[in-house]
Amino acid sequence: MSVLELKDVSISHVQGLEKNTVVHDVNVSVKAGECFGLVGPSGCGKSTLLWVLAGLNPHWSGGIQLLDQPLKPGKVFSGELRRRVQMVFQDPYASLHPKHRLRRALSEPLKLLGYQDIDDRLSEGFKLVGLTENMIDRYPHQLSGGQRQRVAIIRALLLEPKLLLLDEPTSALDMSVQAEILNLLNELKAKRDLTMIMVSHDPEVVDYMCDHAVTMKAGRIDKETFYD
Amino acid sequence: MIDSSLQSKDPLEKSTKRIASGFRLPYWLNTFNVGLVMVVILLGLALLAPLLSPFDPNLQNIQDRLLAPDAQHWFGTDRFGRDLFSRVLYGARPTLILVSLVVILTVPIGLIVGICAGYFGGWTERVLMRMTDIVMSLPSLVIALALVSILGPGLMNGALALAFTSWPSFARQARTETLSIRRSDYLSAAKMQGITGWRLIIGHILPLVLPSAIVRAALNLGGIILAAAGLGFLGMGIQPPTAEWGSMVSSGSRVIFDQWWVAAVPGFAILFASLAFNLLGDGLRDKMDPRHDK
Amino acid sequence: MTNNSSLIQVENLHIGLEDGTELVKGIDFSMGRERVALVGESGSGKSLTARSLMGLLPASLHVQANRFELLGEAVLAYSQRQWLQLRGKQVSMVLQDPKYALNPSQNIGRQVEEPLVLHQSLAKKTRVEKVEHMLDAVGLPNPAKLRKLYPHQLSGGMGQRVMLAIALINDPQFLIADEPTSALDHAVRDQVLELIASLVEERNMGLLLISHDLQQVADYSERVLVMYQGQLIDQLPASQLSNATHPYTQTLWSCRPNIDKRGQALPVLDRGALATLTEGAAK
């Protein structure tokens, strides 16, 4: 069963009257439970593609089937789909709101969904990613880079996603912290039955993590690899 | 062993530091604290005016008209024989009330317009910002005068008139700041978590835009005090006989060559108030804006 | 060690905040005309140490040392004016991200030329020749045309080559490269490191290469210094890294993922054990 099916997907940046196509005719299918990698140099369109899958960029054309739902270009994600696709961003310093304490940042979306047992879920999440619960009333700037990325992972997982998007989740981190985060992601994938899509410019990270990967070059798929 | 070596190094270090940094003010003597003290003095005088003033500010005494400052009338008297010291104290009240009314009206309007323009973009932005540009290009005091002459003079109408022309700077700043954070990862993350619309604007964008709006408000207050005094000077503010600095300068200007203090005393009050808020605003900016950090 | 004319001699270097927090806690090291990697996590004090060697620490930090010599000069008491004489001429530095380190409003030629204007008095024509020669040496194509370009027209890898040209144009004796490749694409990183190492060797300079990726810099250096929480906890020849005995060095050496480690957990630091270990060393 496939979680994601891309058919001739092209993505454009619109600037004024000019339309600049940055991703051309991508065809890819991602199976459930897979870790799928998108590799390539900066500017190859891999992040652009990921932001479309995240529902943050509606300027695309072609056919996308995501979690058994056909998507329409120009539409924002809503309801169930919005919740089931979550993302961990590249820079943990920039992806947490600087003026919100962790408790607020993590509990707000759960409140919107009408959960009652928010505190239990938060403490479970902290345990899951290996953080101590006493950090919950801190601001993001009081944490280290690795701790922030763990918080970003909790934030994504609290909504119980089916698809977890990872936009260079370790490239802003130290090599030793990268190892910790990659181990954590592997554990979570096994425990939670997650499908992951990971963007990286480091082929070794993708070699280590992914079951299936494509290398992109100038907006097109250059090479598709299946690891056993 | 380590300790002794560190000590031997110390004197050299300290002396170079002193030369490099030159003359230093004590740490508490900064713009913010001076401005704050001045504003507190101003507020205190306005609140305690009935206790502090030796005379009724509106009590006319034709025998004592245009007296020079002396032990009884510290700042002299005006041409109706009213005590200038008392009038200056009471005059702080309408000025401060008017200024706070203007802030209460302009900051929210400016923020709403600016954040909406920056967040929604497209046609919303174009319409809102062109409106802002039009209001900004109007000569503010002239428009305020025109509005007051339509609405009729008075405290509330003066505040409305000044507010009408002073919100655009808040809107512009809020729009610029919203634009700069609109594409930030933490807003994208919030959207992915299902937080949208007003919840996003008020809970996530406003806390980041508000501090600089407060700084700007403090900086603008100086200008608003001057504009309020201008309205009073031209007879469009609070009507006599209520004490108001602008109209006091105006009435003093008739006798400025022979009894200069009648105009100078309220003039200095205006200077003091305007300076106080300017210093406070400057200091606030240094405190809150990392780009101005030392 | 190998070279007697020591470029750097540092004994018991302390760097601390005004409130007494120590960020670098008494480290000793020396180096000659060799390539040395200074490795550690963020917050280990490696960048502070390097910046102190360039006189670039902010005034709010206190630097103390028993001995702090650069090219045989005791530079700790140097004034800004004396540092200006030294920086860009005898010692220079390549920073992390060319996007921020290059001035966006000046063309490349002018920025590469600037150290020449500051430190030497040469005719305009000679300067242009030198600039073009230098751009050629760092492997940039068509220097005459490149001189006229602006930083935003270059890729990250090219920008970092320009930074290197600026750093080397006055033939300094010592170069500090502070995470020179972490803002670059993976494919370009090795090229840039290779270039730095070969230019440094050609010119018989000293190189201090700062990084958090031990495996990557090991190939380009002869000796490795490992810092952890302000202490220099290990130093060893790069060729001995696979036999490293210190647990921290071992982990740094082996934590990089690759295809052979699929399915196994990556080695991570046991920070608790490390804390007791470093405390023991401090006493």
Contacts of B203 in chain A (CB under 8 A): 108
Q: What is the predicted pLDDT for the residue at A163?
A: 92
Among candidates B239, A177, B281, which has minimal Cα distance to C271? A177
Q: What is the predicted pLDDT for the residue at C281?
A: 56
Please give, rounded to a whole number of angstroms, the shortest distance from the CA of A156 to a CA of chain B: 8
Cα(C151)–Cα(C36) distance, integer angstroms: 30
Residue C92 CA, chain-centre distance (Å), reads 9
Tens digit of each residue's pLDDT (9 = 90 or more) over C37-51: 999 888 888 888 988
Q: What is the mean pLDDT of residues C69-91?
A: 86
Q: What is the predicted pLDDT for the residue at B237?
A: 75
SS3 call for A137: helix
Q: Does B65 or A54 have the greater pLDDT score?
A: A54
Q: Does the pLDDT of residue B175 top 90, yes or no?
A: yes
Q: What is the predicted pLDDT for the residue at B24?
A: 67
The residues pairing with C211 across neighbouring beta strands, listed in sequence order, are C39
Q: Which of B186, B194, B208 sits opposite A96 (nearest CB)?
A: B186
Q: Does the pLDDT of residue B3 top 50, yes or no?
A: no
Q: Which has the minimum average pLDDT: A19-28, A134-143, B141-150, C273-282?
A: C273-282
**CA distances for A11 relative to A51, A56, A90, B29, C38, angstroms:** 10, 12, 21, 57, 43
- Interface residues of A toward B, Cβ cutoff 8 Å, are 54-56, 82-83, 85-87, 89-91, 94-100, 108-109, 112-113, 152, 155, 159
Q: What is the predicted pLDDT for the residue at B22?
A: 56
CB C223 within 8 A of CB C36: yes
CB B200 within 8 A of CB B191: yes
Q: Does the pLDDT of residue B220 top 90, yes or no?
A: no
Please give, rounded to a whole number of angstroms, the shortest distance from the CA of A228 to a CA of chain B: 32
Question: What amino acid occupies position C182?
Answer: S
Q: Which of B189, B194, B203 sits opposite A95 (nearest CB)?
A: B189
A226: Cβ contacts below 8 Å, ≥ 6 apart: A211, A212
CB–CB contact A176 C251 (8 Å): yes
Q: State how beta strands C62-64 and A85-88 pair.
A: unpaired
Q: Does the pLDDT of residue B12 top 50, yes or no?
A: no
Query: What does pLDDT average to over chain A?
Result: 89
Q: Does the pLDDT of residue B130 top 90, yes or no?
A: yes
End-to-end C-alpha distance for chain A, whole angstroms? 18
Q: Which of C156, C188, C252 sits opposite A176 (nearest CB)?
A: C252
Cα(B53)–Cα(B73) distance, integer angstroms: 10
Q: Does the pLDDT of residue B50 top 90, yes or no?
A: no
Q: What is the predicted pLDDT for the residue at A110?
A: 92
Q: Does C69 or C272 have the greater pLDDT score?
A: C69
The size of the B-C interface in CB pairs under 8 A is 20
Contacts of A176 in chain C (CB under 8 A): 41, 212, 251-252, 255, 268-269
Q: What is the predicted pLDDT for the residue at C223?
A: 92
A193 pLDDT band (50/70/90 cuts)? confident
Cα(C144)–Cα(C128) distance, integer angstroms: 9
Q: What is the 3-state secondary structure (H, E, C) of A158-202?
A: HCCCCEEEEECCCCCCCHHHHHHHHHHHHHHHHHHCCEEEEEECC
Q: What is the predicted pLDDT for the residue at C282?
A: 52
Which chain B residue shows the shortest CA-CA distance from A77? B192
Contacts of A108 in chain B (CB under 8 A): 193, 195, 203
C114: Cβ contacts below 8 Å, ≥ 6 apart: C166
Q: What is the predicted pLDDT for the residue at C100?
A: 86
Tens digit of each residue's pLDDT (9 = 90 or more) over C143-176: 888 989 999 888 888 899 999 999 999 889 999 9
Tokens coding C174 = 């010592």
Please give, rounded to a whole number of angstroms, the shortest distance from the CA of A183 to a CA of chain C: 6
Q: What is the mean pLDDT of residues B181-189?
A: 89
Residue B251 CA, chain-centre distance (Å), reads 25
Q: Which has the minimum average pLDDT: A52-61, A188-197, B15-24?
A: B15-24
Among candidates A64, A75, A38, which has minimal Cα distance to A214? A38
CB B263 within 8 A of CB B256: yes
Contacts of A56 in chain B (CB under 8 A): 188, 191-192
C78 pLDDT band (50/70/90 cuts)? confident
Q: What is the predicted pLDDT for the residue at C279?
A: 66
Please give, rounded to a whole number of angstroms, the shortest distance from the CA of B172 to a CA of chain C: 26
Q: What is the mean pLDDT of residues B203-231?
A: 88
pTM of the predicted structure, to 2 decimals: 0.80
A27 pLDDT band (50/70/90 cuts)? very high
Tokens coding A133 = 């619960």
Q: What is the predicted pLDDT for the residue at B289?
A: 59
B182: Cβ contacts below 8 Å, ≥ 6 apart: B118, B119, B121
Q: Does the predicted interface ipTM exceed a cut of 0.90?
A: no
SS3 call for C13: strand
Query: What does pLDDT average to over chain B?
Result: 81
Q: State how beta strands C62-64 and C67-70 pair.
A: unpaired
Among candidates B194, B149, B155, B200, which has minimal Cα distance to B178? B200
Total residues belonging to chain C: 283
CB–CB contact B193 A155 (8 Å): yes
Please give, rounded to a whole number of angstroms, the shortest distance from the CA of C146 to a CA of chain B: 32
CB–CB contact A175 C256 (8 Å): yes
Cα(B112)–Cα(B171) distance, integer angstroms: 7
Tens digit of each residue's pLDDT (9 = 90 or more) over B87-113: 888 888 888 888 889 999 999 999 999
Q: What is the predicted pLDDT for the residue at B7?
A: 36
Please give, rounded to a whole number of angstroms, the shortest distance from the CA of B208 to a CA of chain A: 8
Q: Which of C64, C77, C80 sits opposite B6 (nearest CB)?
A: C64
Among candidates C103, A83, C145, which has minimal Cα distance to B193? A83
Cα(C30)–Cα(C10) distance, integer angstroms: 6
CB–CB contact A144 C43 (8 Å): yes
* DSSP summary character for residue C37: E
Tens digit of each residue's pLDDT (9 = 90 or more) over B237-260: 777 777 888 888 888 888 778 778
Contacts of B198 in chain A (CB under 8 A): none
CB–CB contact C14 B17 (8 Å): no
Tens digit of each residue's pLDDT (9 = 90 or more) over A121-153: 999 888 888 888 888 898 888 888 888 999 999
Q: What is the predicted pLDDT for the residue at B23?
A: 64
C280 pLDDT band (50/70/90 cuts)? low
The DSSP H or E segment spanning B251 is helix B245-252
Sign, CA dihedral B143-B147-B152-B156, equals negative
Q: Does the pLDDT of residue A22 top 60, yes or no?
A: yes
Query: What does pLDDT average to over chain C?
Result: 87
Please give, rounded to a whole number of angstroms, the shortest distance from the CA of B221 to a CA of chain A: 27
| Chain C adjacent subunits, 3+ CB pairs under 8 A | A, B
Q: Which has the minimum average pLDDT: A80-94, B70-84, B186-200?
A: B70-84
CB–CB contact A87 B189 (8 Å): yes
Phi (first) and psi of residue A7, to 5 degrees: -130, 115
